[in-house]
């Protein structure tokens, strides 16, 4: 398995501000995936981040709103920009296991509330 640490665990943010979520993995991984889980909903893929290249965004998500960095094989950040109450969600970082590439593991999630 992979151990994934996410920061912050929880935050309350002011409307119009931006917040950066950090994701640290205990082993080198090729792909990192960022998901959003709105209240009472399922998980929706925001983007896939490959080290050394631009992230690939899913329909409905844009780089200006959710810029992602992937500076190395163990770390990534997701920024939620110019936040509105609709951005209140859990944001989850996930990776495929290094030795077991068929399973995806998740961080603890970052619970953002925008007021």
Residues that bind another protein (CB under 8 A): 29-31, 33, 41-45, 48, 50, 90, 92, 94-97, 101-106, 108-109, 111
Which of residues 50 and 81 has its CB atom nearest to another protein in the complex? 50
Min dist. Cβ of residue 34 to another protein (A)? 10
Which of residues 13 and 96 has its CB atom nearest to another protein in the complex? 96
Min dist. Cβ of residue 105 to another protein (A)? 7
Task: Report the C-alpha gap between 105 and 108 in whole angstroms.
Answer: 10
Let me know: does 2 contact 31? Beta carbons within 8 Å: no
Min dist. Cβ of residue 48 to another protein (A)? 6
Let me know: does 81 contact 67? Beta carbons within 8 Å: yes
Min dist. Cβ of residue 47 to another protein (A)? 9
* Closest by Cα among 6, 9, 7, 34 to 104: 34
Which of residues 15 and 24 has its CB atom nearest to another protein in the complex? 24
Task: Report the C-alpha gap between 100 and 115 in whole angstroms.
Answer: 40
Which of residues 19 and 107 has its CB atom nearest to another protein in the complex? 107
SS3 content of the chain, % helix, strand, coil (to 5): 5, 50, 45
């Amino acid at each position: 398995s992979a151990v994934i640490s996410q920061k912050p665990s929880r935050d309350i943010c002011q409307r119009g501000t931006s917040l950066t979520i950090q994701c640290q993995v205990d082993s080198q991984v090729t792909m990192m995936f960022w998901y959003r889980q709105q209240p009472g909903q399922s998980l929706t893929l925001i983007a896939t981040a490959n080290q050394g290249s631009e992230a690939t965004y899913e329909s409905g998500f844009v780089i200006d709103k959710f810029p992602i960095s992937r500076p190395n094989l163990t770390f990534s950040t997701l920024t939620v920009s110019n936040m509105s109450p609709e951005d209140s969600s859990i944001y989850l970082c996930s990776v495929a296991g290094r030795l077991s590439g068929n399973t995806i593991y998740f961080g603890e999630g970052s619970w953002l509330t925008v007021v």
